[in-house]
Amino acid sequence: MNFLNALKGSDVDDNKGRISLGMNPIRNLQFAPPAITDGRVTVAPPLDVIEDGCKLWKSTLVGHFVGQKLPYLVVNSIAKRIWGSYGLSEVLSSDNGFFLFTFDSVDHATNVMERAPWHMANRPLVLKC
């Protein structure tokens, strides 16, 4: 399914200030209106969105290298070699130098955290849950 197909259908107000964009049961996008508090614009997503996000990322660790960022291919190769037995399933990177290490279970991610500190290519890696 592509993005345009997800948006097909009419906008529906759910009487809670949220507008559902599209009626596709697979991708039900919702708009959470912003609020201005003390001059700051904030958005409070619905609780179910937060809970779903927590479930999705609960076995993922976020990492950042102290000093210069390592290339993704280097980090991916080293991480799979040292954490493959811990159930590492995916390595992602962001443009701002953060890496996401997804494990097949929360227990495996916890085991990696408990065995810190970690280094890759002689650079310290700071990990957070």
pLDDT one digit per residue (tens) for the chain, 129 residues? 344 444 444 444 444 444 444 444 555 677 778 888 899 999 888 888 888 888 888 999 999 999 888 999 999 999 999 999 999 999 999 988 999 999 999 999 999 999 989 999 999 999 998
Structure confidence at residue 30 (pLDDT): 74
Place of tokens 């592509």: 2
Structure confidence at residue 27 (pLDDT): 59
Q: What is the pTM of this model?
A: 0.66
Instruction: Copy the structure tokens of residue 91.
Output: 């390595």
Tell me the torsion sign for CA atoms 61, 65, 70, 75: negative
